[in-house]
Structure 1
Amino acid sequence: MNFRAIALPIGRLLILISLLMILPAIADIFARNPDWQIFLISALVLSTAGVLTTFAFHGHRPPGNFREAIIFVNAAWFVFSLAGAVPLYASELNISFTDAFFETASGLTTTGSTVLTGLDQMPPGILLWRALLQWVGGIGVIAIGVWLLPGLRVGGSQLFALETSETTHKPYGHVSPFLFRLLGLYGGLNLICAALYLLCGMTLFEAIIHAMTTVSTGGFSTSDQSFGQFPGVTVYWVAILFMLTSSVPFLYLIRSIERRRVSLDVQIVLLLSIVLVAAFSVFYFERYIVHDTPFHMFTLAVFNVASVISTTGYAANDYLQFGPAVIAIFFMLTFFGGCAGSTSGGFKMFRIAILLSHFRGLLKRMVRPRRVVETTYQGRAVSNPVLEGVFVFAVVYAAAFAGFSMIYLALGLDLETSLSASITALANVGPGVGDTIGPSGTFQTLPDAAKWVLAIEMILGRLEILGGILLLTPDFWCD
């Protein structure tokens, strides 16, 4: 095992974390909040640890293999969560380390579940730090999804070959050209989103925070009311546009901007179709309960649907008050998620598209048993390894959802909260259903043991589950 290939990037990651902490420190200095000292001290300690680790393992190192990459990603997510929790724990928030770790893990995985209240009066440094965690987590999710997860063979190992005419699984052949384009697109979306938020009436600080948490599909806000604090409908449509854009494969967006020949992706069509059907369904039930203009009600319906399916987790109102049918709709949307190669989580639309194609073929063969019907994606046949990977992931996804639900039941949560907490953490959505962790509640009242399990489940969900489960298998550690 080449531990240097794991420890060296961890050390550099600690240095990156410490540099990011300077930004909230500056924000608190301008706000004359004493927490600036906490951020600077935390930055100093973490940078020292990062520099010492980097020097200790510096030198020639052979290229890391897939096993070391898996260990690194798991370790990086956990180390970043621990390090990011330090200033939250030491600040004037007066929260436990469990809550600080939960909040940080939720931010980095762009889940958006929170244990904090009183956001409207919270120091700017804390609000900025939460947004930075989600911003970094969003860009990390895309990079991992494109460069590491295909090796897990959970249905995405040949995704890019299916979507395009690429002869390799990795776009642009090398990491540098793709990361350059990815950072440019990611930063550009943030700038445009922030500018539009400013035009909609947000303050500069609110625009920056919400742009970072919208494009990363994270959902942290500057108010306990989330998007309910903003009047008018224009700001909601801006959020809808960027939540859905960030749920589209970033590789598809990059190629579209570069004017390469790209056909409309099946998973994008499926995503938008589900959003429209679900939004009109919610609007249908909402209009019997809420007395408002039809356009405003439809706007809120589209916003809430886009927020959940993109796994952003913003809330404009308590949509769970619209009746059991609406609750069922949003609970189902929690499972879906956005497209592969985006910042969103969930089961992912390309897997749903492949399963639907395979199911359609099964129905045709039932009518005509001798008929040969291939499972296709984008008009191309899906190979057996890809199809097997999708089925394996579906089984593991369902098993993880059920398993974690039983753990939460054993920890004292009621059935509704257990089921909702399990899927919202696994799919990295944020709010669940029910009075406790619904869009009008927080995770604060849950027992500490449940918060630790939820944090682990969030990280597992971001690693497509198998990325974490592999560490528990004996074969993984055998040479």
Structure 2
Amino acid sequence: MINFKKISRVLGILLIINGLFMLLCLPFSFIDERPDDEIALIISGGITLVVGLGGWRFSLKATHRDLKKRDGYLIVVGGWLLMSFFGSLPYLLSGAIPNYADAFFETVSGFTTTGATVLTNIEGVDRGILFWRSLTQWIGGMGIIVLAIAILPFLGIGGMQLFVAEAPGISPDKLQPRIKETAKRLWFIYLGLTILECVLLMLGGMSFYDAINHSLTTMATGGFSTKNASAAHFDSPYIQYVLIIFMFLAGTNFTINYFFVKGKFKKIWLNEEFRTYVFLTGIFVLIVSTTVYFVTDSGAERSFRDALFQVVSVITTTGFVSADFTSWAPFITILFFIFMFMGASAGSTAGGVKIVRHVILMKNSFLELKRQLHPSAVIPVRLNNKAVSQDITFNVLAFIFIYIIVFCIGSLILASMGLDFLTAIGAVATSLGNIGPGLGTVGPVDNFAHLPGAAKWVLSFLMLMGRLELFTFLILLSPYFWQK
């Protein structure tokens, strides 16, 4: 039986956290001396806090039964939808994005760390509103649900079911026996890397405001920038290399980052997904940088830097832009389209399919040939020298199959709305993979403002489906979920 009172309690807590984060943006609006935007943030934060407190108060007499799987799925999906609904208020009330479809799209793009935008003049928007825009990505990066896990035990609510539903990847890898301690350590690493990146960017000449915004969105693999030209605005090798390093770290399983902090370097390299991540990134950078060097008049260092930046940006689903990769060569455009279906590591803030799923898929495909020759043999897929259970293998196959089906259906829907083929498949691929820049008229130097409202609603829900790894979202549409 679904425990609606406890669900209401958790959602109320999430909205309270959301409202407090909105009010944190006020100092930047005060600096800009734009009273309308200050009032918009105060009202938005106030409404969100009041509704959140109402949901929390409503459930004060909730039963002490622990959360179950169904409760966890409802909280995760409901939490993301509610946060997106209330998170769009600052855009609407300030007038920065007066259309609700656009405001919801921008908010979902933030919380899902996609980075697709409808803003055509980012630098003209109030700094408090832009900081909220960056903050939505930072909140969504690790998942506000995981943040709540760290405090739920104090409120008498167990959080394991939330972690199972929210954690990106095949299965959650607990760093400590208690889920609360896991969440705390994840956020400690996340916060620490964000602060470190901010300091390094400031040392490279960035203002504190630009540095903190880009640090928030880099560690979230989100890609929102305070500049119209994104990272290309900062034509500094130092700044771009700093962004590359932290994009790569954000795309790494946070368990690996934890091992790095603890000095357990042997464990890092024994991780098969991490080795594949490093290897594929290196190979693709070599291919792209060589092509860019010969098809453009850029020098060797600039070709390498642009290639490295864009490959890491797309593979990690960050979406920062230092150059228009669609202008390099048709071969490169196709290659980057393939990148949109990769994703970085499971257990990172990146979106997409994730490398570990591709590894399991490839291993299982090759082993299937061997099974055809030895039909009686039991030949399991092995990852990190351990046998992968059939349940996980089937889960991976089902995930990738459904991912492709959703991509095809989404592309057909957008094409039926009048979008050209390249724009339709590019917009769906980048939204479902939570990347940001797409192809066609939503490419790296364009945005999503010109798309029809219906297309933005479709893409918003594709972003949510991608961020919640399909199953979490789609399971609520299944009749099996609602059966007793």
For Structure 1 versus Structure 2, the TM-score category normalised by the shorter chain is: over 0.9
Q: TM-score, normalised by structure 1?
A: 0.93
- Give the conservation status (yes or no) of the 8 Å contact 2:145–2:163: no
Alignment of 1:379-458 (within 5 A): 379-434=385-440, 436-458=441-463
Q: Does 1:67 align with 2:48?
A: no
Give the deviation of 1:122 after TM superposition.
Answer: 2.1
Match of 2:314 among 292, 308, 323: 308
Partner residue of 1:18? 19
Alignment of 1:27-426 (within 5 A): 27-34=28-35, 35-61=37-63, 62-140=65-143, 143=146, 148=162, 150=164, 156-157=170-171, 160=173, 170-259=174-263, 262-264=267-269, 265-365=271-371, 373-426=379-432
Moved more, 22-31 or 240-249: 22-31
Partner residue of 2:5? 4
Encode CA deviations 1:241-282: one digit per residue, 9 max, x unaligned.
111111111122213323457252111111122211211211
Question: Structure 2: how far apart are the matches of 1:49 and 1:110?
Answer: 25
Question: Structure 1: how far apart are the matches of 2:298 and 2:372?
Answer: 49
Give the deviation of 1:156 after TM superposition.
Answer: 1.8
State the superposition RMSD in angstroms: 2.1
Give the deviation of 1:121 after TM superposition.
Answer: 2.6
How has the CA–CA distance of structure 1 residues 373 and 64 changed in structure 2, closer, same or farther, with 3 Å as cutoff? closer
Residue type of the alignment partner of 2:228? D
Question: Structure 2: how far apart are the matches of 1:97 and 1:203?
Answer: 32
Question: Structure 1: how far apart are the matches of 2:104 and 2:190?
Answer: 26
Give the deviation of 1:179 after TM superposition.
Answer: 1.4
Give the deviation of 1:331 after TM superposition.
Answer: 0.2
Question: Structure 1: how far apart are the matches of 2:169 and 2:140?
Answer: 23
Give identity over the alignment, percent.
33
Residue type of the alignment partner of 2:87? G
What SS does the corresponding residue of 2:226 show, helix, strand or coil?
Answer: coil
Encode CA deviations 1:23-65: one digit per residue, 9 max, x unaligned.
2222111210120111011111221111122112113432111
What SS does the corresponding residue of 1:262 show, helix, strand or coil?
Answer: helix
How has the CA–CA distance of structure 1 residues 154 and 291 changed in structure 2, closer, same or farther, with 3 Å as cutoff? closer
Give the deviation of 1:6 after TM superposition.
Answer: 1.0
What SS does the corresponding residue of 2:251 show, helix, strand or coil?
Answer: coil
Give the deviation of 1:390 after TM superposition.
Answer: 0.8
How has the CA–CA distance of structure 1 residues 63 and 212 changed in structure 2, closer, same or farther, with 3 Å as cutoff? same
- Give the conservation status (yes or no) of the 8 Å contact 1:243–1:306: yes
Question: Structure 1: how far apart are the matches of 2:169 and 2:123?
Answer: 43
Encode CA deviations 1:86-129: one digit per residue, 9 max, x unaligned.
11011132530110000000000000000001112321112101
Q: TM-score, normalised by structure 2?
A: 0.92
Question: Structure 1: how far apart are the matches of 2:247 and 2:405?
Answer: 29
Match of 1:471 among 442, 466, 476: 476
- Give the conservation status (yes or no) of the 8 Å contact 1:149–1:467: no
What SS does the corresponding residue of 1:299 show, helix, strand or coil?
Answer: helix
- Structure 2, unaligned stretches of length 5 or more? 150-159
Question: Structure 2: how far apart are the matches of 1:154 and 1:313?
Answer: 18
Encode CA deviations 1:417-473: one digit per residue, 9 max, x unaligned.
111111111110111011x10000000000000101111110011111011111111
Moved more, 261-270 or 457-466: 261-270
Question: Structure 2: how far apart are the matches of 1:232 and 1:138?
Answer: 26
Question: Structure 2: how far apart are the matches of 1:38 and 1:399?
Answer: 41
What SS does the corresponding residue of 1:77 show, helix, strand or coil?
Answer: helix
Give the deviation of 1:148 after TM superposition.
Answer: 4.6
Residue type of the alignment partner of 2:206? M
- Give the conservation status (yes or no) of the 8 Å contact 2:73–2:165: no
How has the CA–CA distance of structure 1 residues 147 and 356 changed in structure 2, closer, same or farther, with 3 Å as cutoff? farther
Encode CA deviations 1:321-358: one digit per residue, 9 max, x unaligned.
01110101100000000111100010001111111222
Residue type of the alignment partner of 2:321? A
- Give the conservation status (yes or no) of the 8 Å contact 1:152–1:466: no
Question: Structure 2: how far apart are the matches of 1:409 and 1:82?
Answer: 27
What SS does the corresponding residue of 1:422 show, helix, strand or coil?
Answer: helix
Number of residues of Structure 1 aligned to a counterpart in Structure 2: 468
Question: Structure 2: how far apart are the matches of 1:103 and 1:231?
Answer: 26
Residue type of the alignment partner of 1:156? I
Encode CA deviations 1:398-419: one digit per residue, 9 max, x unaligned.
1111111111112221111111
